[in-house]
Structure 1
Amino acid sequence: MPPSAKPPSDAPRPGVQRRRQRLSTEERERQIVDGAIRFFSDHGLGGQMRELATQIGVSHPLVFHYFPSKKALIERVYTEVYLGRWKPEWEHWVKDRSEPFEARLTRVYSDYARTILTKEWVRILIHSALADGYINDNYLTLVGERLLRPIIGEARIELGLDDDREPTEAENELIWGLHGGIFYIGVRHWIYGHKFPENLPQVVADRVRAFVLAAREIFPREAGKAAG
């Protein structure tokens, strides 16, 4: 800069640092939660809170001011990423018998795939399974009770079978195969680095179709075993 030129009026004077922007309590908490989601997605749940604070750009004590323990922060991440993205519509669509059974499942899993196949959703769930299991244990219990068991019941009704029995191992394995197959699309992309399918809706529809065709054989077989 020429000697006669003056620095811009908003430029900090030599040796003077800008003050860190002051955020409201809600904004600061949001900053920490969003940063934790990115951090755990990238580094796993074994990452240290001090490293997390550094990445977010806040002090270590400030993180503990908002979240008294790492477990409390992980619980908040679970609430944000998994419970916060759960759609009650999925549960309604499964039982909406004004629509054919296969069409219902395709609708549910097409929307489910659009919702959950994100970097943070897939990677944090995998990291949790390799760490303390808190997030994946809670989420998979939620899925089983509020989505997969109702699907088994509706499949039995569709096939004219008793829907009051406990799901059998074969029935459970079949529906988890469908559900896990949707999730595995995300694993292939966010863990293995493969591309997403070019026609994801068709892939989802094909997997639902495969479940329905297999259910026509497996569910009556299981009902026959129970009757015998």
Structure 2
Amino acid sequence: MSTEEREKQIVEGAVNFFSAHGLDAQMRDLAKQIGITHPLLYHYFPTKQALIERVYEQVYLGRWKREWEQWMIEPGTSLRARLCHFYQDYAHTVLTAEWVRILLSSGMKDRFIPDRYLDVLQTRIFPLIVQETRLSLNIASRNDAAEAELEHLWGLHGGIFHIGVRVFVYGQPLPTDLDAVIADRVDAYLHGAKNIFKKAEKHRNVAG
């Protein structure tokens, strides 16, 4: 097996292993499950943290699609259509056992993975959604998102993520029509935004 093939074998094995056993599981047990020696594992990844970083790159950054950001600002398309397009594709891409379970395990351990992944969300996608929501409501402000606006958006985003928690942590079935469920949640987000975003704008004007 070439160096590249062996490294790929280790990373893919680690994804499955950490998904099943959590990030506190022992490297010795990982090596045994993969079918390699403990020293060979450390030859490729001298520390457990180095391996976790590679898992993050493969499972999280590796699944990030640049077109998601473009979809959110696509001209001539309703905000509802753009949000449904993004969140339906996002859900089908990330709602897997390894994505959900490793994120939660890292959050309970050292927050390495959620800290980095949520930073990607909050710098590359959330500002676009907030701004496009404002534009749909004829709110001209380009200020940073107010807490109320972000919390409302987290209600949408977190609700979709929790589908994965229900399936891959609680063992509940995936919704029969996931896309329809997501469309309903987008509708609820847009309906609530009419009040929440306009109220946040009033607060900004008073404070300003």
Task: Give the Cα–Cα distance (whole angstroms) in 2 for the partners of residues 163 and 110 of structure 1.
Answer: 28
Task: Give the Cα–Cα distance (whole angstroms) in 2 for the partners of residues 153 and 97 of structure 1.
Answer: 14
Q: Percent identity?
A: 52
Task: Give the Cα–Cα distance (whole angstroms) in 2 for the partners of residues 134 and 163 of structure 1.
Answer: 33
Task: Give secondary structure in 1 for the equivalent of 2:174.
Answer: coil
Determine if the alignment matches structure 1 residue 213 to structure 2 residue 202: no
Task: Give the Cα–Cα distance (whole angstroms) in 2 for the partners of residues 164 and 127 of structure 1.
Answer: 36
From 16, 26, 34, the counterpart of 1:56: 34
- More contact order relative to length (CA 8 Å, sep ≥ 6): 2
Task: Give the Cα–Cα distance (whole angstroms) in 1 for the partners of residues 196 and 75 of structure 2.
Answer: 22
Show the counterpart of 1:68.
Answer: 46
Task: Give the Cα–Cα distance (whole angstroms) in 2 for the partners of residues 88 and 208 of structure 1.
Answer: 21
Paired residues for 1:1-228 under 5 Å: 23-228=1-206
Greater gyration radius: 1
Task: Give the Cα–Cα distance (whole angstroms) in 2 for the partners of residues 163 and 58 of structure 1.
Answer: 57
Instruction: Name structure 2 gaps, 5 residues minimum.
Output: none
Larger fraction in helix: 2
Return the offset for 1:97: 2.4
Q: Is the 8 A contact 1:148 1:176 kept in 2?
A: no
RMSD between superposed Cα atoms in Å: 0.7
Q: What whole-Å deviation, never above 9, does each CA across 1:64-107 have from its counterpart, x for those lacking one?
A: 11111100000000000000000111100001122101110000
Q: What whole-Å deviation, never above 9, does each CA across 1:1-38 have from its counterpart, x for those lacking one?
A: xxxxxxxxxxxxxxxxxxxxxx1111100100000000
Aligned residues: 206
Return the offset for 1:216: 0.9
Return the offset for 1:144: 1.1
Return the offset for 1:162: 2.3
Instruction: Name structure 1 gaps, 5 residues minimum.
Output: 1-22
Task: Give the Cα–Cα distance (whole angstroms) in 2 for the partners of residues 129 and 223 of structure 1.
Answer: 33
Task: Give the Cα–Cα distance (whole angstroms) in 2 for the partners of residues 147 and 185 of structure 1.
Answer: 20
Task: Give the Cα–Cα distance (whole angstroms) in 1 for the partners of residues 174 and 122 of structure 2.
Answer: 26
**How high is the TM-score relative to the length of structure 2?**
0.97
Task: Give the Cα–Cα distance (whole angstroms) in 2 for the partners of residues 74 and 132 of structure 1.
Answer: 11
Q: Is the 8 A contact 1:82 1:121 kept in 2?
A: yes
Task: Give the Cα–Cα distance (whole angstroms) in 2 for the partners of residues 132 and 70 of structure 1.
Answer: 13
